[in-house]
A = this chain, B = another copy of it.
Amino acid sequence: MSQRVKIKQVLHDDAVQYTATVKGWVRTFRSNRFIALNDGSTNNNLQVVVDFENTDPAILKRITTGAAISATGTIVASQGSGQKVELQATSIEILGDSDPEKYPLQPKKHSLEFLREIAHLRFRTNTFGAVFRVRHTLAYAVHKFFNDKGFVYLHTPIITASDAEGAGEMFRVTTFDPQKPPVTEEGKVDWKEDFFGRATNLTVSGQLEGETGAMAFGEIYTFGPTFRAENSNTARHLAEFWMIEPEMAFYNLEDNMNLAEEFIKYVIRYALEHNREDLEFLGARLAEEEKSKPQAERSEMGLIEKLEFVLNNDFMRITYTEAIDILKNSKPNKNKKFQYMVEEWGTDLQSEHERYLVEKHFKKPVILTDYPAAIKSFYMKQNEDGKTVRAMDILFPGIGEIVGGSQREENLDKLVHKMEELGLPVEEMYWYLDTRRFGSAEHSGFGLGFERLVLFVTGMTNIRDVIPFPRTPKNAEF
């Protein structure tokens, strides 16, 4: 028996007149003759032509949607339209049946909501096949980008006793019997008795540990899961998501912005080069979906056009203060169309404001810098004005904030003072402060929410559709 070949290879090679065995899952079977076979290596199916006169009718009956089969025969030029080659099968073997009465993925359009309920099977659809192959490529491009630049991939801890940003609700990690945890003499839960000898949580960020790496290797990045126990049931929030966090010694804010922009463009370009077919499929899907929207709400560009637009244009870089001026004088603000009016310097920007800047005013990705210190994290470098910090957020159309970063405060005294002001545990965080105590230097970093990137590149609109098994409030299925 000939060696199995992948369908992607067969279609790509475009060669004919050779014997091949393919294995995969039946997408459709029509006229007792034409199998559309998919093996996951590509969204494209291989047409397998069954010699139905010489095939056992019992076998023919078992060639149903979802069944796994092995087909051996000759690759020939295809007579039909839509494909250049096809397999003239001389033998078909049923590897695993799929009862058409029970298989949930019949060849018809299923809603994304329904497919979310069967996330363990949705990989077998065209849409999710494409989404997760693109997700793979983006992940690979992340590693390749940083590796090629000499960054060290650092696995920062998932279970941690520290709260990196002082931000966000956290998940507790424990081995206590919740029915009767050990208690202290005062009747409080005695965390000293827990597995790690203290109360521990799931990490919300690897940044602080990452900084300790940057101050040794120069440039590091993390790429791992992070967690937020926020009760946000929106299309943009997950309780468990993957984050990429580079940290670089000797980088100021401008170096940081340059790196972030280069990085985003690199991974998008990499996906365009390596997953063109998947992205074209997703572009067509999106265009189809947009048809059901009123004209005014449809996006001006197709998916691929939008990705290429990002590649071909510099991100707009402005300060928070400039942004506030633009927003104050904007039509929606004057006409009171914003839900939250922009009146004072110092207010945090809402999603509607970010969207206005990106989608209406500049019509391209925007990097906002130098935010008010009061609305940003303690570790950001303080500007000399005493009011703002060297933060930068990158805002993307349709997504909002895709990157949040800053130059870090490298001055020990300023940092400690800030922590004391905010009531952060200075003693406990001695290890973080040691980076400023011994050989401190200008340094910067940022975090990119990987799923938001995947959303942008695939054109999907719900973040639950770009992670294999989403974790959200009241949902940890599979």
Contact = CB atoms under 8 A, between A and B. Distances in A.
Interface of A: 4, 6, 8, 23-26, 39-41, 66-68, 70, 95-99, 102-103, 105, 118, 120-121, 123-124, 129, 132-133, 135-136, 139-140, 143, 147, 150, 152-162, 169, 171-176, 178-179, 181, 188-189, 195-198, 200, 202, 209, 212-213, 215-219, 224-225, 227, 229, 231, 239-240, 242, 249-250, 410, 431-432, 434-442, 467-469, 471, 473-478
Contacts of A175: 169, 171-172, 229
Given A159-B240, A174-B174, A197-B475, 12 more contacts: A6-B150, A95-B439, A123-B216, A124-B215, A133-B152, A140-B153, A143-B143, A157-B240, A157-B476, A172-B175, A209-B469, A225-B225
Contact of A474 (B23, B140, B197, B471): B197
A202 B173 contact: yes
Nearest to A440: B96
13 contacts: A40-B219, A95-B439, A97-B439, A102-B438, A120-B212, A121-B438, A123-B217, A132-B217, A140-B147, A158-B225, A160-B476, A179-B189, A197-B475
Copies assembled = 2
Contact of A439 (B66, B156, B173): B66
A209 B471 CA distance: 14
Contacts of A431: 118, 120, 477-478
Contacts of A99: 437-438
Given A189-B178, A469-B209, A471-B196, A439 B150 contact: no
A101 to B, nearest CB: 11
A441 B96 contact: yes
A439 B68 contact: yes
Contacts of A140: 143, 147, 153
A85 B213 CA distance: 27
Given A150-B6, A195-B239, A441-B95, A469 B171 contact: no
Given A197-B475, A250-B23, A478-B209, A156 B468 contact: yes
Contacts of A240: 157-159
A441 B41 CA distance: 16
A117 B83 CA distance: 62
A401 B473 CA distance: 38
A162 B478 CA distance: 7
A73 B4 CA distance: 60
Given A147-B140, A225-B225, A239-B159, A96 B218 contact: no
Nearest to A251: B4
Nearest to A151: B136
Nearest to A171: B173
A88 to B, nearest CB: 21
Contact of A468 (B6, B176, B209, B218): B209
A229 B195 contact: yes
Query: Which among A23, A129, A171 has the greatest number of chain B C-beta atoms within 10 A?
Result: A171
Given A189-B178, A240-B158, A440-B68, A474 B4 contact: no
A218 B40 contact: yes
A441 B178 contact: no
A468 B24 CA distance: 41
A237 to B, nearest CB: 13
